Structure 1
Amino acid sequence: MKKKLIALAVTGALMTPMLAQAAPTVYGKVHLSYGNVEDGTAGGNDNWQLRSHASRVGVKGDRDLGNGLSAIYKFEWQVDYEQGTDAGFDRRNMYAGLKGGWGEVRFGRHDTPLKMAQGKFDQFGDTDADLKNAGDEDGENRLDNVLAYLGKSGNIKYAIALIPGEGDGTTAGDGPADSISASIAYESGPLYVALAQDSYDDTGAVAGSENSITRVVGTYKMGNMQLGLLYQTGVEGVSPSTDEEDWLGLSFSTKFGGKNKFKAQYITTEDNQASAVESTLMAIGVDHKFDKKTSGYLMYSNLDEEQGGATITDDTFLGAGLVLKF
């Protein structure tokens, strides 16, 4: 009997890593809010809404190939309980690749390095006050056909993504890298600093253009507080030079009472058109963490856009949200 138990134990010990390697990880997040949504412009809406904010489900895993090399994969979908387009599903990051001591290579649909460079600056991600809602040339892109490399050396992280247009050279480009996104970041202790740039080659949409957008971001932690600064300038995609925007963003958070966090954020943008469009996105809120995977929040946000002294956008949100991860 003892011999059988020993044999069973040895077999189980040998099989456990094999099963763990083969079994993918299923994960997700449900993010819902309820509150007053108001469009303050003439003829705008003013109502109460229950909404989903980038709720998602995904599967990820890796497979040991030996000699320090692993195959990796991740497939993630955004889920809309209101059953919008695509029967309530939309694609998020979806890729496969290889990982080793030299870094990672990923192929598929992926966030650009410039998007990832924001780090933990954005205190209101996936809400009305998300960084991506601040201006037209936002840089917050998740693209198809991405060939990405992510590496690290000490406290320095770097990434580069090549995105072919896969077109005929007239409408979408036909080169190996019609768009390029690259970033380099330094993180040590409380300090995080990153520099990133997206470059867009001319694909026929705007004759003779080759545009780029540059982002500089930093965060610094002091005890329970964090300060964030973001500067961004340029044109996203192949667009007229008059679409160029300058951004300046500030974020702040402080923890209190063990499970609570007060946060505030302010982002202003201005383009260089003859009649410039100026926008301001500001928000304040309080988060409460129930446990490691469940949190709730109260927040207020306002997006104000003006052109030639006239208001063209005045959107506000006041409400509460719940975030559950699994």
Structure 2
Amino acid sequence: MQKKIIALAIAAAVSAPAFADNSNVTIYGQARVSFDLVNTGANAAGTAGVSANKVSSNTSRLGLKGSEDLGDGLAAIWQIEQQIDIDTGANTLATRNTFAGLKNESAGTVLMGRHDTPYKLATRKLDMFADTIADNRSLMGGVSATNIAAATLAANGKSVGSSFDGRPTNVLAYISPAMSGFTAAAAYVAGAETATAGQIKGNAWSVAGMYDAAPFYGSLAYENHKLGSVGSGTVAAPGAALNVAGLTESAWKIGAGYTIDAFTLGFAYERTNDNFGAAGANFLGHNAYYLSGKYSFGTDAVKLAYTKVGKLGAAVNTDAKQFSLGYDHNLSKRTTLFALYTKLSNGTAVNYGLSTNGTGGNNTQNGAGASPSAWSFGMNHTF
């Protein structure tokens, strides 16, 4: 018996430092679930819309993060974050911002891993309906639809080769400290890490400047993609049917937000360009803008937003617009009930769908000219 007690004491002494090291770990996340009533809307060819009801997880997430003080203002930092699909239970580890790096209060942060690009960070906070089916990334950031044939590219809603509002892997990023409200960020995305001989290796650059000093927020961002061979890496060509490997696309945008008393206003404008067309012509380049407003009273808020995307290159009737209206009721600082309605109206030669960012893959595309819409009723709890 005495030997067992001594063995347990030794084991406890050896394992104690490991438990002490875990004291810097923070667990965080959000559970955002909703019941959605979706209709794909009739298209320009007269095909009737289809209705569907579903439970959506809306980018529910779970994360772990921590840091170690290394002295002289330097700290080692890390984070592992994953999307949690509450509606289906189909989850994969480290699908969201996951990285390790070094942080200095006066010099800034350097990190490597998977992370939102500075271009994305520049205006995400302006989206009143972020991470719901009314998310403005239905039309903003460049929409990369799947299963696209070259002959029907525009008609299927493809607007860029690789999303500009993305969270790529293989990122090396720097984020400056806040200097009188101003923060700068830059990132390099290494593509085609496993490329074979003869493949073109893609890559991307992204930079942004953000000024955040209440009541005003402003941002300016730029991103450039060199597209690689199909399937060769993180910055890939749109599809085998469209040979753009080695070509480039770029985007810039400006964002602004202002809060005065109970009113919050938001605006974002972006422009994309490419050389995908004949003789380097702009093939899918387009402009898009977003307007939003919120009125808060007590524990409630009314929100509305309007998004507009112009034609793709020279293709006529490839514009689209989206209107969203919502109501929030805060049960506490961490729990909110919400209801919203959103409708997207396509031009007769384009087929955008409502946002699938975090909603579990709502497929609301029904062909060119369709006008998909949705009601969504849910709750969001942060922890």
User: Into which bin does the TM-score normalised by the smaller protein fall?
Assistant: 0.7 to 0.9
**Structure 1 segments unaligned to the other structure (5+ residues):** 1-14
Q: 2:264 aligns with which of 226, 234, 237?
A: 226
Cα distance in structure 2, aligned partners of 1:141 and 1:121: 16
Matched, 1:323 2:380: yes
Matched, 1:148 2:161: no
**TM-aligned CA deviation for residue 215 of structure 1:** 1.0
> Retained in 2: the 8 A contact 1:150–1:159?
yes
User: Are the structure 2 counterparts of residues 78 and 212 from structure 1 closer, same or farther at C-alpha, using a change threshold of 3 Å?
Assistant: same
Matched, 1:293 2:334: yes
Q: 1:179 aligns with which of 196, 201, 204?
A: 204
Matches within 5 A, 1:21-170: 22-41=23-42, 42-83=47-88, 87-89=90-92, 91-100=95-104, 101-135=106-140, 136=143, 137=159, 139-152=164-177, 153-165=179-191, 166=193, 167-168=195-196, 170=198
User: Are the structure 2 counterparts of residues 131 and 320 from structure 1 closer, same or farther at C-alpha, using a change threshold of 3 Å?
Assistant: same
Q: Name the amino acid aligned to 2:266.
A: G
TM-score using structure 1 length: 0.86
Cα distance in structure 2, aligned partners of 1:25 and 1:231: 36
More strand by share: 1
> Identity percentage over the alignment?
29
User: Are the structure 2 counterparts of residues 303 and 172 from structure 1 closer, same or farther at C-alpha, using a change threshold of 3 Å?
Assistant: farther
User: Secondary structure in 1 aligned to 2:372?
Assistant: strand
| CA RMSD between the two structures | 2.5
**TM-aligned CA deviation for residue 202 of structure 1:** 5.0
**Structure 2 segments unaligned to the other structure (5+ residues):** 1-15, 144-158, 230-242, 351-366
Q: Number of paired residues?
A: 304
Q: Name the amino acid aligned to 2:188.
A: L
> Retained in 2: the 8 A contact 1:32–1:323?
yes
User: Are the structure 2 counterparts of residues 131 and 172 from structure 1 closer, same or farther at C-alpha, using a change threshold of 3 Å?
Assistant: farther
Cα distance in structure 1, aligned partners of 2:61 and 2:247: 37
Cα distance in structure 2, aligned partners of 1:207 and 1:81: 38
Q: Name the amino acid aligned to 1:31.
A: R
TM-score using structure 2 length: 0.73
Q: Name the amino acid aligned to 2:259.
A: K
> Retained in 1: the 8 A contact 2:228–2:246?
no
Deviates more, 1:311-320 or 1:192-201: 311-320
> Retained in 2: the 8 A contact 1:22–1:63?
no
